[in-house]
Amino acid sequence: MKSKRSEFLTKEPLSQQVYDYVHLRIERGDYAPNDRLPSVRSLAEQFGVHRLTVFKSYQQLVKDHFIYAKDRSGYYVCPHPAVKLTSQPDKTFTNAIDSGDVIHLHQKKNQEQILTAQPLHSAASQLTKEDSLPFLSLTRRTHVLSALHQQDVQYQFSKALIDPSLLPNTYMSEYVKQVFDMYPKLLGTYSTVQGDFQLRKVMAEYFNARHHMSLSPEDILVTSGATQAIDLAARMLIKPGDVVLVERPTYSTAIDIFRQAGARIVTVEMRPDGYDMEQLEHTIVESRPRLMYVNPTYHNPTGYVLPEEKRKLLIELAEQYQFIIAEDDTTYDMYFADEPPPPIYSYDTEGVVMYIRSFSKYVAPGLRIAFVLCKPWLMKEALTLKSLTDGGSPLLGQKIFEHYFTSSRMQTHMEKLRIALSLRKEKMEQMLTAADWQWISPEGGLDLWVQLPAHMNAIALLEKSLEQSVAFVPGPFCDPLPQGSEAYIRLSYCYTSEKQIEEGMERLLIAYANLL
Ligand SMILES: Cc1ncc(COP(=O)(O)O)c(C=O)c1O
């Protein structure tokens, strides 16, 4: 009989996953009859798997009469693909592709286990080498990360979420009552797809005053968090095989979203002073991206900030090489001392930026309020997709947010929050000085991106630290490439109190010492 853990680790063979992926794309019409399929080499590169794996999948697809091979020229979709009787297209896999559901791809046999509490080490146990393969990380990276977040550990340094005790929960409940008094029929109606007009008006005035923009409510879309906005960007702008340029490392959910859209991910190194612009241009010329996803202010996971002059240059590159920049500014307001440079979007005159600003994190994650700012031609597409996704974000959350955002409490809350976060960061850094680890102290944001000594493996350290009831995010989760971040970890200082940081860091260093 299989042990619980080995069941939990059950996975489809890689060749079967590649088979299902290609088959699904044929079924959905992404590849039409007689279309040439990607070469074995390029698919293997795209997914980070061995060429023989792709070859095996193609051979099986030929056998099943879904595709045919032409000598020396490659593989093509059959004019009338067979109805497959033996192994039906995997419905769960289809759902995973369509819905972005991260649970099902390789663990469908174990759903119950996954949906119930997992043993302490199960998340770390899943971090096998395969997890760093780009294709498999399509749905796995985010899933394993959320499994990690659900670990019942005492010291949670893996969550880039603000400690709920630092958020204005009591005031929020007051606003709920106020909003219902003002709009008794609020729950009896839908929001418009674009979002509540009054809220968009408030936000247009806010952005105009703060960043010298000239927005009208029509330039703003309300989304359910930045995650939904990134997903909209991917669905609007990417078709399978298109190149998306991302910073390396980057926000792990964004990697999954772009993979889900079938994108080929190309990377640019994120350095303390932003990117090497020459290198970036070279990469753009070589790869011709359709979209570049950036997180330029207190970047997740590094905390770095793209300097102002590079922001302007980036706009020039997007105009010259005709790609869209999805600028995710989720932590823009999380500065400790000086304000960051203006958003890249504020320099955009040609409409090449889709600006995403979430207030989820530091006002009320439960409201999931974020805004997309973009020019009309992008807005038109975004509205079509948003209407298909959910018909508009829930009105109640928008109204509560509007009333809180326009109150004087918002400003006071932000000031207090910045102080609390900077103290937590300092506490974590103070504890870190006891180890031979390296990091660059960020000027804002929620995380430290820490480099361990080269011989140390972040996943091995995570296994050990979970024994000490401490969780953090291993570097490979933030890396779109299969290798290179094994000796990095992301430590979030925002979710735990200073006292917990002190105790948790002591335990983490014990875990580290046990590995030496
Ligand atoms: C860079 C980045 N973008 C987006 C998000 C998600 O934001 P939201 O909660 O608004 O979906 C996060 C959350 O960690 C993030 O770090």
Query: By three-state DSSP, how is residue 448 classified?
Result: strand
Q: How far is the CA of 61 from the centre of ligand 1 (A)?
A: 39
Q: Are 413 and 245 in contact (CB under 8 A)?
A: no
Lowest mean pLDDT among 136-150, 456-470, 480-494, 499-513: 136-150
Domain count, the chain: 3
Question: Looking at the domain assignment, is residue 22 inside a domain?
Answer: yes
Tens digit of each residue's pLDDT (9 = 90 or more) over 297-351 = 999 999 999 999 999 999 999 999 999 999 999 999 999 999 999 999 999 999 9
Question: Looking at the domain assignment, is residue 122 inside a domain?
Answer: no
Which pLDDT does position 512 carry in this prediction? 95
Which pLDDT does position 79 carry in this prediction? 82
What Å distances lie between residue 82 and 23, 97, 217, CA to CA? 11, 22, 51
Q: How far is the CA of 78 from the centre of ligand 1 (A)?
A: 42
Average the pLDDT over 79-97 and give the result. Answer: 40
Side-chain-side CA neighbours of 81 within 13 Å: the count stands at: 22
What Å distances lie between residue 135 and 36, 260, 368, 422, CA to CA? 21, 9, 29, 37
Query: By three-state DSSP, how is residue 332 classified?
Result: coil
Nearest ligand 1 atom to the CA of 227 is: 11
Q: How far is the CA of 21 from the centre of ligand 1 (A)?
A: 27
Which residue owns the Cα nearest ligand 1 atom 7? 226
Residue 345 and residue 396 in one domain = yes
Question: Looking at the domain assignment, is residue 124 inside a domain?
Answer: no
Which pLDDT does position 110 carry in this prediction? 31
Distance of alpha carbon 299 from alpha carbon 331, whole angstroms: 8
Q: How far is the CA of 222 from the centre of ligand 1 (A)?
A: 15
Distance of alpha carbon 405 from alpha carbon 220, whole angstroms: 16
Tens digit of each residue's pLDDT (9 = 90 or more) over 189-215 = 899 999 999 999 999 999 999 999 999
Nearest ligand 1 atom to the CA of 225 is: 10
Ligand 1 pocket test, pick from 300, 302, 368, 449 with the greatest ligand atom count within 8 Å of Cβ, gives 300
| Residue 76's CATH number | 1.10.10.10
Residue 176 and residue 309 in one domain = yes
Tell me the residue range of the domain where 146 lies.
139-164+411-515
Q: How far is the CA of 300 from the centre of ligand 1 (A)?
A: 9
- Name 247's bridge partners: 268
Q: Which amino acid is at 89?
A: P
Which pLDDT does position 244 carry in this prediction? 97
Which residue owns the Cα nearest ligand 1 atom 16? 300
Report the pocket of ligand 1 as residue ranges, CB < 6 Å.
160, 225-227, 251, 295, 300, 328, 330, 358, 360, 370
Average the pLDDT over 82-89 and give the result. Answer: 37
Task: Inform me whether the pLDDT recorded for 428 exceeds 90.
Answer: yes
Name, in order, each residue with C-beta under 8 angstroms of 305's C-beta and a sequence gap of 6 or more: 274, 296, 297, 298, 299, 340, 341, 443, 444
Q: Which of the listed ranges 73-82, 98-107, 233-242, 423-432 does the model predict with the highest average pLDDT?
A: 423-432
Task: Inform me whether the pLDDT recorded for 1 exceeds 50.
Answer: no
Residue 212 and residue 89 in one domain = no
Q: How far is the CA of 429 from the centre of ligand 1 (A)?
A: 23
| Residue 308's CATH number | 3.40.640.10
Residue 433 pLDDT level (bands cut at 50, 70, 90): very high
- Comparing CA positions, the residue from 11, 9, 17, 13 lying closest to residue 124 is 9
Task: Find tokens 């609020």 and name the residue.
Answer: 186
Ligand 1 pocket test, pick from 270, 330, 367 with the greatest ligand atom count within 8 Å of Cβ, gives 330
Which pLDDT does position 390 carry in this prediction? 95
Task: Inform me whether the pLDDT recorded for 3 exceeds 60.
Answer: no
Question: Looking at the domain assignment, is residue 471 inside a domain?
Answer: yes
Left if phi > 0, otherwise alpha if psi is -120 to 50, otherwise beta: which for 265? beta
Residue 149 and residue 276 in one domain = no
